Amino acid sequence: MAREEELAGKLREMEVLRKNKQLPKGEQTNSLQDQLEKAQTNLSAHRSYLTSKLSALGKYSARLEAAAAWLGETRTRANIAADLPPHQRDGLMRNIAACVQDREAEVREVLENYNNMERECVAAKQSVCPDLRDKLARLKDDWAALRAATAAATAAATAAATTTTAVTTATSEPGTPRKGSLDSQASGKCRWRDRGVT
């Protein structure tokens, strides 16, 4: 910005000198003015480019912070679920798995945008800010851990549901005697067969 203002000042000075006929006419003067105008245009374009990149970086940082906050909160919920009774744990983990699935595209986009930014930095012979790189590394780790936890919990809940369904189906077929079934043929009493309870 300061260079841009400096160039604008030099162009104004040049114009004043030209009007006062204190500047010699010729190709050299015209060439100098053209160079100053071109430099001013290039600086203005570069300033716009940098402004847009800084704006994009600010937006990206906000999205990264939001994704990291959500992941931290969701991992905490998953850790709490591990201490709950199975039926509560399974319900909470299903809910968390649904949330992970809903947010997957958003988190992947944050990860992809970082990769694109990193490629741009390498092409410009620069490096990504270490703070940003560290935040993204934590995001990747948290994301992988949360996906693994929800996948394991979902698989365990599915296996338990399949086992329960198989046991229920096997024991409810007509004509199949069940161990521990209610024997209603006892003389006016109900008792559990094979348990001796009357």
What is the domain partition of the chain in residue ranges? 2-156
For residues 119 and 128, is the Cβ–Cβ distance under 8 A? Answer: no
pLDDT of residue 7 exceeding 90, the answer is no
pLDDT, tens digit (0-9, with 9 covering 90-100), for 62-90: 999 999 999 999 999 988 988 999 889 88
Does residue 41 or residue 197 have the better pLDDT? 41
Task: Give the residue ranges of DSSP H helices in the chain.
Answer: 2-19, 27-81, 86-123, 130-171
pLDDT, tens digit (0-9, with 9 covering 90-100), for 166-185: 555 555 555 554 444 444 44
Instruction: In whole angstroms, give the CA distance from residue 188 to residue 164.
Output: 32
197 strand-pairing partners: 192
| Percent of the chain topping pLDDT 90 | 36
pTM of the model: 0.63
Q: Which fold has domain 2-156?
A: Methane Monooxygenase Hydroxylase; Chain G, domain 1 (1.20.58)
